[in-house]
Amino acid sequence: MNIGVLGAGQLGRMLALAGYPLGNRFTFLDTTGNPSAGIGDVMVDTDQQHLTEFLSKVDLVTYEFEHLPVPLVQAIEEHKPVHPSSEAIRVCQNRAEEKALFDRLAIPTPAYRLVESAEALEAAVRELGTPVVAKSVTDGYDGKGQAVIKDPANAAEAWRSINHPRLIVEAFVDFVREVSIIAVRGRDGQVVFYPMAENLHVDGILRYSLAPMPDLDAAVQQTADEYIRALLDELDYVGVLTLELFQARDGSLLANEMAPRVHNSGHWTMDGAVTSQFENHLRAIQGLPLGDTAARMPSCMVNVIGQEGEPARLLEIEDAHLHRYGKGERPGRKLAHVNLMAPTHEALVEKVRACAALLPGAPAPRFSFE
């Protein structure tokens, strides 16, 4: 089966690497003019003049990036199966729609307000109390399109800096840690869940994801499973879905946002799980049986951001697996990741620290269970 992928970045690359053993072929449609997959058949189509040619080559379509024009995905759906659907993209790329879906399914979220002016933003800050985070309703990711406001007097400046006609304003949560749950839903409605991961972000960019967590109560994992299953079923979803959450001090979970695709916080599954998120996504969209999601042992993904370390030094670490994306170095750019595994969490954390010390600018890791 030839699978069409909207987008041609590292996530598409990793989908292809997981799909070749299954006999899949891949055609990427890049609408940015800056493809980096470096694998498969890449079509650059910045003016949407090559869609017919793309569709003639593929049997079904998926995507590696949700910030796509919804009309484009809807047009593709008229000719080829698209998984996940355009409805999943429509909801996930609009934070207001996303929060409305969470509310409808009784999935708790931080308190929030929607605002459409600097004056309304200031009023929301006063109502919710400081600090708050203001985010553009669309287009923002990896810390872009948002600002932390610590004083209502700074609302006008935040409005100008974000420069978007509609913002969502969220109250800060006194959380213990940021976590994510990744699940996969097949065409037949079967759902499998990966162990939750603890995620450490710096400046809005994910730096470390560790799974499974040694101190996670089984009831918390079950709650997360129920939340994401509700989303999967409501959207009649096929493929991998990621739900990012805050875990509060009382153990409760508050939904932050979701991503309708394979996700950075699931990269640990490439080496640390029985079946990777990438293979399971491909199994799901092709109607194949879903694979085992169990962790082989404690695992941690370390993102390589901006500048690469020396590969030979990184690979001297026992049970370290380096995945490079073939990108040029640039501040804030995701260049690669390292997956680390160890028989115990204590040994794993030692490896993570050793790995971080070899990466220029990598922040010191500090996990909630230490």
- 110, 108, 351, 336: which is closest to 210 by C-alpha? 351
Q: Check whether 169 is labelled as a binding-site residue.
A: no
Q: Is 146 annotated as a binding residue?
A: yes
272 is in an annotated binding site: no
Residue 326 assigned ligand-binding role: no
* Token output for 12: 């598409």
Distances, alpha carbon 345 to alpha carbons 133, 233, 279, 299, 350, in Å: 33, 34, 26, 8, 9
User: Which of 118, 179, 127 is CA-nearest to residue 147?
Assistant: 118
Which residues have C-beta within 8 Å of that of residue 20, sequence separation ≥ 6? none
Residue by residue, what is the 3-state secondary structure of 311-340?
HHHHCCCCCEEEEECCCCCCCCCEEEEEEE
Which residues, 6+ apart, have CB-to-CB distance to 218 below 8 Å?
Answer: none
State yes or no: 256 annotated in a binding site.
yes
**Is 64 one of the annotated binding-site residues?**
no
140 is in an annotated binding site: yes
Residue 95 assigned as binding residue: yes
Q: Is 323 annotated as a binding residue?
A: no
Question: Is 34 known to sit in a ligand binding site?
Answer: no
Q: Check the annotation: does 201 bind a ligand.
A: yes
Interior/surface letters 124-150, b for 16+ CB within 10 angstroms, e for the rest:
bbeebeeebbbbbbeebbeeebbbebe
Q: Which helix (H) or strand (E) holds 91?
A: helix 86-92
Q: Is 99 annotated as a binding residue?
A: no
Extract the annotated binding site.
Answer: 95, 135, 140-146, 170-173, 178, 201, 256-257
Extract the annotated binding site for ATP.
Answer: 95, 135, 140-146, 170-173, 178, 201, 256-257
